[in-house]
Each structure stands twice: as C-alpha cells, then as structure tokens.
Amino acid sequence: MVTANVEAKTEVSKAPFGKTTDGTPVEIYTLKDGSIEARIMTYGGIVVSLRTPDREGKVADVVLGHDSVQGYEPNPPYFGAIVGRYANRIAHGEFKLDGKTYNLPKNNGENTLHGGTVGFNQAVWKAKEIANGVELTHVSPDGDQGFPGKLSVTVRYTLAGNTLRIEYSATTDKDTVVNLTNHSYFNLAGQGNGDILQHELRIDGSRFTPVDATLIPTGELRPVEGTPFDFRKLTPIGARIHQDNQQLQYGKGYDLNWVLDTPEGKLGEAAEAYDPASGRVLQVFTTEPGVQFYSSNFLDGSIKGKAGVAYGQRSAFCLETQHFPDSPNHPSFPTTELKPGQHFHSITEYRFSTRGE
C-alpha cells in the first residue's frame, strides 16, 4: 500500500461558511496534510468534504454532501454529521433507566432515530483550532429530546498523514445513555460517480444483530457464517445484496449492525473498503463494539448534492462505528449508560491508502 508521509505537518485554517436559516453563523475548518484534505463545519460537526488521491495520484472528494449550509437543512440522510445523543434506533421512542421510563420523539416510524427530531446533527457546535485539527463542543441540556442529564460533548477531528481521527468525549450530571457516531457517506470512486456495488468490503465481525421489520434488533447475536452478511473476506458489496433474505428485505439492502471481533475499548480494525477502479482503500479503526454498514438504500435521486449531482440508491456506503442499536432496551448488549463522574470516550479512525490493480 501507498500511504501519505506521516511526518508532514497538517495545515489547519478556518473560514466563514454562511449562516443557518435562523441566522446563526457557521464556520468551516480545512485540515490538509499532503494530498489529503478534510473540511469540517460547525453546523452538525459535518464532514463536508474529504479529498484523497487514487492510485494515479488524482485527488477526488469521496464523501457525499452539499455545497452550502442550507443544503444540509434539513439533512434527512445525515450526510457527514455527528449524530447523537443516541446514534441509530431506540424502539418505540422509549427506554427505562433507574426504574424510570423516558419518552423520546418518534422520527422513524414508531422509533427514535439518531437522537430524535432535533439531534446533534442540527446543532451549531462551538469550535477552536487544535494541533492538526479542530475541537468541537456542544452542551445538550437536561431533557433535550427527552434524554435525562446535561450532557457535555467534545469531538476532536484531527488529520495526520493518511488518517482522519475522530475522538469523542462526554460527561453528564445525571444518569443517561449516550451513543455517538459520524454518518459520512463514502464513495471511493468520488462522490457522485456512480454506485458502490463494485466496491469490495471486509468487516471484522463474525456476528451481527438481526432486526425486526422496523429495523430494531431482536436481541440475538447471529453468526454471519453462511449468510449474505459474511464480509470476513473482501467481497463486492453488490454480490449478494439482492439475495432473497428477510434481513436484506427489511432494510432494502444492507442496514445492520455487526458485532466486532476486537474487544470493546481497544482500537482495532472494524472494516476495510476497496474500490478496484480507483485503487482507493479505506480502513476503519474504532474502540466501539459495533459498526453499522448501510448501503444508502433510501437515497432515490431526489436529493441533489454537490454541483447539483443527484444521489441515487447505492451511491455510497456508511460504516457507522457505534454501540448497538436499541441497547438501552437490551440489557445483554454492551451498555450505553453514562453516570455522573464517568467519562465517555471513543475513537474512530479513517485511514486512506491505495492499492495497485
């Protein structure tokens, strides 16, 4: 593999990026190290663009998104955003904690998705430059979207060499639940450049969490062996996506959580994606116990992205590092509870390289 020089100094700059519809100013931070460049805006902590070279050295933007803040308002697909307080789904918009039932807004049928109707993806985060990157902070008040406790969140994006690192931290003043992730949509051929069915994917998970018809986990940890969800070896995303499988039908493609084989809390490889046409390779490392692989099944061409390109079905993939969906309602899953005095901490890294034909 060819990787960037990790000794190179990352250039960090900021600039105005317009205003939200309510007039709040938004800034965008540009992180550049050699031929890799990431742009992060304060609205939603969104990765607006991520430019990396192919095997010939040609640089392209490999994440879906928009050219202005207004394009992200609203943002039904959650392009590039930090999502929380609770990434993924919570069944029936409720959970119990310390014997009390908490009710959340239902914004995904009967379920709560990605924190509710006004999640972290719609907040304008406070930002400051740090070494090699930007630090974003946001305070979610007690009762925000029905969640208990004042949650203070810090997310640091740093770029060094070939690696974009996201470090999440949070504290609370009451018992609560938290699950944070980044929701970038990747197309290693370049955003807007066709579908990702020929991309090859490997996921370091020998089990997954099957779901019901509303995409809520049943509680089972099912082996991937002998199923269309066995990505333990590099396999084209499109190879089995149309198989007659109920789990694929529920999500209209891949939209499931894999149980990672690396012990929780240890930074280990979660997944690798490879585009044979461009030679771009993306490796995802995380301390989280799970990763949601989503094959952009619900994009239908109605959303126009950067330069007016229509984003159709399968035009990108997401690898959302996370705790499992609906964990507050599944005591057997790794806990997402956070108590006063505890410190939530999670790391995810996107490492880019290229491979010859």
In the set 320, 323, 330, 349, the catalytic residue is: 320
Token pair of 179 as six digits: 């699950």
pLDDT at position 3, please?
A: 42
> Distance (Å, rounded) from C-alpha 68 to C-alpha 192?
16
Residue 6 lies in a domain: no
Question: Is the bond into 263 cis (omega within 30 degrees of 0)?
Answer: no
Token pair for 67:
């050219």
Neighbouring CB atoms inside 10 A of 141's CB total 10
Residue 248 DSSP class: H
Q: What per-residue confidence (pLDDT) applies to 1?
A: 44
319 inside domain? yes
Does 3 fall in a domain? no
Q: Which of 13, 17, 40 is nearest to 27 (CA)?
A: 17
Quick one: tokens of 203? 């996921």
Active site residue 320: yes
The list of the chain residues with pLDDT below 70 reads 1-8, 357
In-domain check, residue 39: yes
| DSSP structural state of residue 307 | G
DSSP-assigned beta bridge partners for residue 167: 156, 347
Span 203-253, pLDDT tens digits: 999 999 999 999 999 999 999 999 999 999 999 999 999 999 999 999 999
CA distance 165 to 143: 30
Q: Considering the domain boundaries, does residue 247 fall inside one?
A: yes
CA distance 286 to 270: 6
Give pLDDT tens digits for 288-301.
Answer: 999 999 999 999 99
- The reported pLDDT for the residue numbered 303 is 96
Whole-number pLDDT of residue 2: 40
Choosing from 138, 183, 323, 330, the catalytic residue is 183
Q: Which domain holds residue 24?
A: 11-354
What is the spatial distance between Cα 95 and Cα 117, in angstroms, rounded to a whole number? 17
Let me know if 183 is a catalytic residue. yes
Residue 161 has what pLDDT? 94
Q: Residue 22 contacts by C-beta under 8 Å, 6 or more apart in sequence?
A: none
Asked if residues 237 and 202 have their Cβ atoms less than 8 Å apart, the reply is no
The count of structural domains within the chain is: 1
Predicted TM-score (pTM) of this structure: 0.96
- The CATH code of the domain that includes 92 is 2.70.98.10
Q: Is the residue at 97 inside a domain? A: yes
In a domain, 4, yes or no: no
- Burial classification of residue 241, based on how many CB atoms lie within 10 Å of its CB (0-12 exposed, 13-18 middle, 19 or more buried): middle
Position 5 scores a pLDDT of 42
- Write the DSSP string, 70-89: GGGSS-TT-TT-EE-SB-SE
Q: How far apart are CA 259 and CA 207, in angstroms?
A: 5
Q: Which long-range contacts (CB under 8 A, 24 or more apart) does 104-107 make?
A: 104/145, 104/146, 104/147, 105/145, 105/146
In a domain, 242, yes or no: yes
Distance CA 354, CA 345 (A): 30
Q: How many whole angstroms separate alpha carbon 88 and alpha carbon 111? A: 10
Strand 163-172 to 344-354 pairing: antiparallel
∠ Cα 347 352 354 (to 5°): 155
| 270, 321 Cβ separation under 8 angstroms | yes
Look-up of token digits 């956070």: 338
Whole-number pLDDT of residue 241: 98
Say if residues 179 and 52 touch (Cβ distance below 8 Å).
no
